[in-house]
Amino acid sequence: MRRSPLVALLLALALVPAPVPAASASTGITQQQATELVTSYAHLTAEFYKKVDKQAVLDGARTNVISYLKAHGVADPKIDALHASPDDATNARTLERAVSLAIDSYSTKIGDVVKTKDPSSAIPKLVLYGAKTGSQNITYAAIAGTLGSVKDKYTVFLSPKDFSELNEGLDGTQFGGVGISYAIDDKTKMLQVGNVIIEGPAEKAGILSEDIITAVDGKNIHDLVVGKSTDLQTKVVSGLLRGEPGTKVNLTVQRGGQVLPEPIIVTRAIIQSPSVNLKMLPNSIGWVELTVFGSDTSNELNKALARLDAQGAKAYILDLRYNGGGYLDAAIHVSSKFISSGPIVSVESRAGTNTEYDAENMAIAPRPLAVLVNGYTASASEITAGAIQDSGVGTLIGSKTYGKGVVQTIYRLGDGSAVKITTARYLTPHGRDINTVGIQPDVLAEIPKGADGKPQQIRLGDPANDPQLQTAINYLQGKLAALNR
């Protein structure tokens, strides 16, 4: 079946309702907890991309609850063995009853074992959670155990905190700031401006990539951070640059070796953490780094390519190193900027249904293209790398990718937690299954190792300190030279 992705199918996030067996709260478990437990069981047994052993699922829940209780103050918890039935509704009720009994027996007896503050006593103390927290945590342990039963590292339970952090990682956080990325120079302790967010407050005020910020509001950066740990340095600088939207900050800037005669005044605004960084490299080669495939990555990439095109880019480097993936539809949008037509990826479900997603007729004018990859290039970024390699529109340079060729769907639960389940696998346009295998680059370029045997530290986007990037530049320079002959 061939269709365009009008509805987003997500590699890392899909809030999809599904029919589940009815949950009826027992004595120990609340109605919401019962529903979440039964819903998780239903999604796993119906949606996991391989056939599920239902006895293993019940065993997994029981074993994990027992392990949790032992780790939180119950020396010898008793939970009867659970016996699976061919009927899912029966299994759901069995699971619900077992968890409810565990809550009745142990929810008020569990807690965190902490060292006593009394110096005269070396005996640890058990700080009890209370019935409400204990009940919730036992239910969470049962859900995690059901998911762990399939032995798939991507199929996991996400607490409300885990789920929130996942969303922030994909979609970015918002804060009041100036809109730059920066590095604190090891020697000078000044701020080296990296990426300047397109149309952000710093760009509007005139800050440029490669500028050096020596002071903020008259406070010398060197004096503020020298002698402090890396984490503390970052905290100090972040505290200076961030602030309420609408407030102003004065940046003393050094450009081309000379301090500008007047500070640049930047008016802070709401900043969305970017997923795309860009830079024009020598010989009119545009470098675009994608850090994640998030909800706004496609729009950010459009702006970045338009900016580089306006600056006269004759070739592009798409940097997917250290990009762990994200949304499938974002991968399709990104791939479609370079692939004019044809398939991007096929997604195959447990039932054998194969859905093929095609390029979206939005490609930029063809230019020489190099795609940088490494062992941390995974999931959605491998979809894009594989599609570009199979279509022949670009050349992969670097080292073998991670090898994550399966698709996860996330189902939100009622209290802000969620379950993440592997629901399908994907194939490249040529039908390659890259799961656990990875993608071999067309041009191998490893990071040299130092005297200690570890890979040398690199600075992404800096050809002088990034040998893989320099390899890509050399490759594209050769391509451009051949075109000009």
**Amino acid present at 63:** T
Q: 390 catalytic, yes or no? A: yes
Give the pair of three-digit tokens for residue 118: 């009394």
**Amino acid present at 53:** D
Q: How far is CA 76 from the centre of its chain?
A: 39
Give the pair of three-digit tokens for residue 245: 């939207």
Catalytic residue, candidates 209, 379, 391, 399: 379
- Tell me the C-alpha distance between 308 and 429, whole Å: 29
Contact indicator for 224, 185 with CB cutoff of 8 Å: no
**Amino acid present at 143:** I
Contact indicator for 287, 279 with CB cutoff of 8 Å: yes
Q: How many residues does the chain have?
A: 485
Residue with tokens 């800050």: 207
Nearest to 77 by CA among 53, 49, 54, 105: 105
DSSP code of residue 217:
T
- Tell me the C-alpha distance between 5 and 360, whole Å: 9
Catalytic residue, candidates 135, 390, 420, 466: 390
- Tell me the C-alpha distance between 345 and 427, whole Å: 6
Phi, psi (5° rounding) for residue 412?
-75, 135
Q: How far is CA 244 from the centre of its chain?
A: 27
CB atoms within 10 A of CB 171: 19
**Amino acid present at 210:** E
- Tell me the C-alpha distance between 52 and 128, whole Å: 36
Q: How far is CA 410 from the centre of its chain?
A: 14
Catalytic residue, candidates 26, 404, 417, 466: 404
Written as one string, the DSSP assignment of 56-93 is HHHHHHHHHHHHHHHHTT-SS---------S-HHHHHH
Q: 100 catalytic, yes or no? A: no
Q: 51 catalytic, yes or no? A: no
Q: Which residues are catalytic?
A: 379, 390, 404
